[in-house]
Amino acid sequence: MRILPVLTLSAVAAGLLVLVPGSPARAATLPTGARSLESVGLPGRYLRHQDHLGRLDEVTSGSSAQTRLDATFTVVNGLASPRCYSLQAANGQFLRHRDWRLRIDPNTGDPTFRADATFCPVDGPVAGSVSLASYNYPDRRIRHRDSALWLDPYQDTATFRAESAFRLTAPWAPKTTRGPVIPGLFADPHLTTFNGRYYLYPTTDGYAGWSGTYYKAFSSTDLVNWTDHGVILDHGPDVSWADDSAWAPAVAAGNGRYYLYFSGGAASGNTAKQLGVAVADTPTGPFRDALGHPLVRAGQFPGGQAIDPMVFTDDDGVSYLYWGQGVARVVRLNADMVSYDPAQVRTITPPGYNEAPFVFRRNGTYYLMWSENDTRSEDYRVAYATGTSPFGPWTNRRVVLQKRLDAGIRGTGHHSVVRAPGTDTWYVAYHRFAVPAGNGTNRETTIDRMEFNADGTIRPIVPTA
């Protein structure tokens, strides 16, 4: 079997070092994407789930399609930590431990579940193998006993090392869909280009109440094979006025530097959301808070919520900040990219608007796009208007992106748009409920083509699986 190119995100070979018995365990790196896990101690037997319980069973090309599917997991960003990993089954549920047994369950997003479903790889007993240590019980590892999977305390014995070591192989059920473009739970994607390369900045999803704290950056030359550049800003240590609600990042270039605009708030006390801006010398950071205080304070302007920033830079080099949930606002940024005149803030809320404004220009026409309905609704969707300036006035057009129930696609929204460098080919990145079992806090990011009619209007976007 082969590994599809779309799955080469962060594809650093796992466990290249040999672990000498009795030596300290060393952290390993896993390739993300669809994989199967073969036992080192019992070759030909693979980690799988059956009736929600984790097992180790023989799998061959002659096994049933369901068995091969149940023995395939997607290695994704750790639900509890970006330094570790989670294993997502084809039905959208996650491998986790409960009462020391391994099983699959839907992600509830609470801290206990996320910790129980996160595992940190260490080098296995032979080259090319790994052991999976529990994130919240680091002295315990996934182990097979009598064909059942358990989380057992580590023992420095040959038997334990063999029963707790796995080789990552090509998946028994290879991925056949285009999306998501990045394995795992990510939402609110901001897709842009710098120096001829695509960059993707999403919200880290999978948290109850959208309580994530950090942003990652990904880059690609072809929108298919993505490099994970790791965490670029973490509210906890990096932002003095916010330790929660790391939402909707957007990055713009200016003055030879890169500016990350983001939403944030406090986990307790006054949890009102505010906008911030961070700065870095490269598109992949690390970013630092540029101001030490919010760029737009909660309640600074009446109505709506201060979230979902994006920056549009016009052909004359002038940049404009757009933001808002409930009310859409715009203001021209000063040349420093981190300040503006509050008296110049304008309200531009179109009919049907809820959140996530996005503006671009094509052939002299300005396009204002936004998301309608609640992000927890399967009817979350994208609409747009056209105008003659960054401020409008705006002529309402139509909904251009919405659910596609025949493909199991729901909750399509909070998008961004990019033009392939040097062409008139356009793409739209957006999130949707994770297929097949996602919801408004378990979302995934995908990308589709966006095409125009001869009169400049946007053709309806058909979301692809």
Nearest-angstrom CA–CA distance, 296 and 291: 11
* Cβ-contact 359, 310 below 8 angstroms: yes
> Of 38, 70, 163, 188, which residue is the catalytic one?
188
126, burial (CB in 10 Å: exposed 0-12, middle 13-18, buried 19+): middle
Tokens 């986790």 found at: 96
For residue 355, indicate whether it is catalytic: yes
Nearest-angstrom CA–CA distance, 191 and 87: 26
First to last CA, the chain: 22
Nearest-angstrom CA–CA distance, 322 and 314: 13
Q: Which two tokens stand for residue 386?
A: 């056209």
Q: How far is residue 207 from each of residues 114, 187, 211, 328, measured CA to CA in Å? A: 8, 11, 5, 26
For residue 444, indicate whether it is catalytic: no
| Closest by Cα among 143, 119, 122, 155 to 42 | 143
- Print the SS3 string covering 61-102: CCCCHHHHHHCCEEEEECCCCCCCEEEEECCCCEEEEECCEE
Provide the CB-side half-sphere exposure for 283 (13 A, CA): 22
Longest dimension (CA), the chain: 72
| Cα dihedral value 338, 250, 319, 296, nearest 10 | -40
Nearest-angstrom CA–CA distance, 53 and 429: 35
> Of 123, 163, 289, 355, which residue is the catalytic one?
355
Active-site amino acid positions: 188, 355
